Amino acid sequence: MKLGNKQLVEKLTRSAIFRDYARAFSATTGMALAMRPVEHWQPALRGAPNENPFCELMARSNRVCAACLEVQRKLTEKVGERSRTVTCFAGLSDSAVPIHVGDQLIGFLQTGQILLKQPTKFSFDRAAKQLVNWGVQVDLRKAREAYFHTKVLTKKQYAATLRLLEIFGRHLSILSNQIAVENLAAEPAAVTRAKQFISQNQDGTLCLATVAKAVNTSTFYFCKLFKRATGLTFTAYVARVRIEKAKTLLLDPNRRVSEIAYEAGFQSLTHFNRVFRAIVGQSPSNYRALSI
């Protein structure tokens, strides 16, 4: 079965070549680096090693997070082969390098949170004024200290750094092609059919025995086969499929959370909230607030 963008990017992120490169990149440049799939609705560099302290402080505000997500959206517009750079309200630059499988865009290498000019009192005061206009409650003393400790690169230095990321991005594209081919060859047909059955029936009642019967295997055999092929138990896999659908539905502000829970296949709002928080790390309401 063909891997989705998120699954491919997760495999790339766990690969030795990416982990080694990310460590070397962060140690050499002092900058944060993350890899994210196309369908990603959170600031990519949040929690990454070398995250800019000013950005980390700003991320505590939903309003500033919305501005960061707008930067992220602009980074992924008009995607070509080269990197794209966007500057945020505070004058910090972020960049994204596309990763492809053939002609298909699957994700981005993202870095930045740097200044291309030395910070000044004027530039900070302009950013602080914007925060006040947005009604953001922030300790301006801490914000000023973090802002003036932001890493500064010349445009030439930053361009050279992004060129290295573009070269690495091409290597990851080659590796992602290999992973996609290996997955198609390695996944048992019964697991492929089970995933298709789950996808088509996720909004109804799904149990292990029903899916095993649908793919013509015994429950015991299917349980072991599915866990070995996917790395997840049947229950955990179904929960993740339903949560992914719920995340998409939450982008519609006109839908109530309770409606989304049942449409995604959960039998109660309490169960939905508990599973969503366990998988996503926040409540459905908070996820929606940061995503819209």
Q: Does domain 189-291 have CATH number 3.40.50.300?
A: no
The pLDDT score that the predictor gives to residue 61 is: 85
Q: Mean pLDDT for each 10-residue chunk of the chain (292 residues)? A: 70 86 92 88 85 91 87 83 92 93 83 96 95 90 95 96 92 76 69 90 88 93 89 89 89 89 92 90 86 62
Q: Where are the domains of the chain?
A: 5-183, 189-291
| Residues 247, 264: Cα–Cα separation, whole Å | 9
79 dihedral zone (left: phi>0; alpha: psi -120 to 50; beta): beta
| Residues 157, 95: Cα–Cα separation, whole Å | 14
The pLDDT score that the predictor gives to residue 184 is: 55
The pLDDT score that the predictor gives to residue 186 is: 60
The pLDDT score that the predictor gives to residue 118 is: 96
With contact defined as beta carbons under 8 Å apart, do 64 and 134 qualify?
A: yes
The pLDDT score that the predictor gives to residue 1 is: 46
Residue 75 amino acid letter = L
Residue 188, both tokens: 């048992």
What burial letters (b/e) apply to 69-93, b meaning 16+ CB within 10 Å? bebbebbbeeeeeebbbbebbbbbb
pTM of the model: 0.62
| Residues 209, 223: Cα–Cα separation, whole Å | 9
Helix (H, G, I), strand (E, B) or coil at 106: strand
What burial letters (b/e) apply to 250-260, b meaning 16+ CB within 10 Å? beeeeeebeeb
